[in-house]
Amino acid sequence: MKVIIIGTGNIGTAAQKAVLAAPDMELAGVYHHYEIDNAQCTMHNVDVALICLPTRESPAFAEKMLRMGISTVDSFDIHTQIPEVRQHLMAVAQEAQSVSIISAGWDPGSDSMIRALLQVLAPEGQTYTNFGPGRSMGHTVAAKAIKGVKNALSITLPLGKGKHGRHVYVELEDGYDFDNVRQRLLQDDYFAHDATEVEQVDDVEKYQTTGHGVLLERTGVASGRDNQQLEFKMKIDNPSLTAQFMVGCARAAYRLQKEGRYGCYTTIELAPAWMLPGSVEANVRALV
Amino acid sequence: MKVIIIGTGNIGTAAQKAVLAAPDMELAGVYHHYEIDNAQCTMHNVDVALICLPTRESPAFAEKMLRMGISTVDSFDIHTQIPEVRQHLMAVAQEAQSVSIISAGWDPGSDSMIRALLQVLAPEGQTYTNFGPGRSMGHTVAAKAIKGVKNALSITLPLGKGKHGRHVYVELEDGYDFDNVRQRLLQDDYFAHDATEVEQVDDVEKYQTTGHGVLLERTGVASGRDNQQLEFKMKIDNPSLTAQFMVGCARAAYRLQKEGRYGCYTTIELAPAWMLPGSVEANVRALV
């Protein structure tokens, strides 16, 4: 399986390691996003492209690759837009006879598979997704956009039952007043609805972390019996886990394309065995 | 979707509740295993049969239904024999144009899907499966077979890292010596390798429980980074969860048969979305 990586940020860099360690993959190229148009002639034998670009740029690059007949995996993470991206890339992939797997990070991604499975196991009930502690990219970008903020970092804190707090480290531009900046940050729509603590620091970089975590909890009813207690928990390195799961999904994309099952899939539409190297028989023996 | 249930024990009884509660299923019949041969004429519109029989009887009854063109779901749980049962029923189902889903309880079953997913997320590492506390059927049967034992119950205790202890309640036949029975039990191959505590009680039934649990733990490497910590935990009612998961797998069997993808599948070969009622689009919106 020949795999290329588009993007050289945290996830792209981690994906290189994951592809190189995969027993069934060849790393056929690593590209910056701006190199794609000129490098198309080098890609005629490529099976799967891992799209490791900022989320908003992902669908357009996926479309470009799909139209070349190259299957794609991305970690598009704007939950509310996933259905429309899926629908759009479905038509593109079916026409171009390729396979797109979207939103294949850990949330959305592997967590989505777990949420679906928890729902199968206990059809009535509540699932809570508790993130953190770990860096939120969206909130970090929002904090950096506040006037007077030179650098910022927003850590998501799990408060339980799907509620989250924010711990925001800010480094000020010269001449700005902390209380003033803090007030503006707390009124920002990203922070106004959560318990938010703002801390002024000299150097935000000292507090950077790629560590993250999640706790998925479901209490529900199975076969008429209540109080079934299910949970899934991870403490992980964020870009490493994202990239590794994308590599697993690359196997699923490759398999689906070979079987002629073209289209766009989210992770809940994939079987775990499709994501593993080795024969299905060997994996049944080892894992079932 | 017309579903029948074969078996009226703990799991068959729970399955009735699960099928009746399913928005997309009709309970088309409940049969004792001895009724099957005479009742075949009543089954011509049936889509899926849930085989809720003792594990050793499951494959033969699955085969019988598959040959009638009825897809099946069972919870066959002898891990070492799963590959050969899969291979045998694969040929049967492909010939009869039906679909068999085997080993679709919680372990093997939903746990198998989780183990596969943990392996995808962190390809190098260790997964430990810790069962209990809860009743082990196999060990209970082994304890009951010891001479002098009138009734018994073996509870599996999780000791961590995949090691298990046994707490065995025994009720003696008149005229037998407890120490003697205890020694024979401890030498039995089922108990000789685990830390086993044997307790004499007046009435074993006072200690019966259908509660069970499992903790799946994996620590491993993702994208070259070690110390990714993953875990899945359940505290559940054993027959209720088994039956509910079988009902989810009935949807997958129905779907695969409609798509002409005949054969025998274990749960790691199934996508979670196939197990849910409602459209894929609605489930993508709600769960991804």
Q: What is the pLDDT of residues B161-170, one digit of tens each?
A: 999 999 999 9
H or E element, residue A60: helix A58-67
A281 part of contact set with chain B, CB < 8 Å: yes
Closest in B222, B268, B281 to A283, CB measured = B268
B175 vs A96: CA distance, rounded Å: 79
Average pLDDT of chain B is: 97
CB-CB under 8 Å, B273 with A116: yes
CB-CB under 8 Å, B243 with A116: no
CB-CB under 8 Å, A245 with B223: no
Total domains in the fold of chain B: 2
Identify all chain B residues contacting A18, using CB atoms and an 8 Å cutoff.
222-224
Same domain, A190 and A282: no
Do the Cβ atoms of A140 and A154 come closer than 8 Å? yes
Stretch B205-225: mean pLDDT, rounded? Answer: 97
Describe the strand order of the beta sheet including A225-237 as a list of residue ranges: A124-131, A211-222, A225-237, B225-237, B211-222, B124-131
User: Which range of residues forms the domain containing residue A122?
Assistant: 111-237
At residue B266, what are phi and psi to the nearest 5 degrees? -95, 170
Same domain, B117 and B231: yes
Same domain, B125 and B268: no
Residue B44 scores a pLDDT above 90: no
CB-CB under 8 Å, A248 with B121: yes
A93 vs A253: CA distance, rounded Å: 11
A156 vs A139: CA distance, rounded Å: 9
pLDDT of A44: 84
DSSP A246: H
- pLDDT band at B45; cut points 50, 70, 90: very high
Same domain, A125 and A225: yes
B154 CA to chain A: closest CA distance, Å? 22
Domain termination site, one of B203, B218, B237: B237
A148 part of contact set with chain B, CB < 8 Å: no
pTM (whole model) above 0.95: yes
Domain termination site, one of B237, B260, B277: B237
Copy the structure tokens of residue B45: 């519109």
Same domain, B135 and B119: yes
Residues 212-271 of B with CB under 8 A from A: 222-225, 227-237, 239-241, 243-245, 247-248, 266-271
pLDDT in tens, A199-254: 999 999 999 999 999 999 999 999 999 999 999 999 999 999 999 999 999 999 99
Q: Give this complex's ipTM.
A: 0.96
Q: Which of A191, A185, A188 is nearest to A171 (CA)?
A: A185
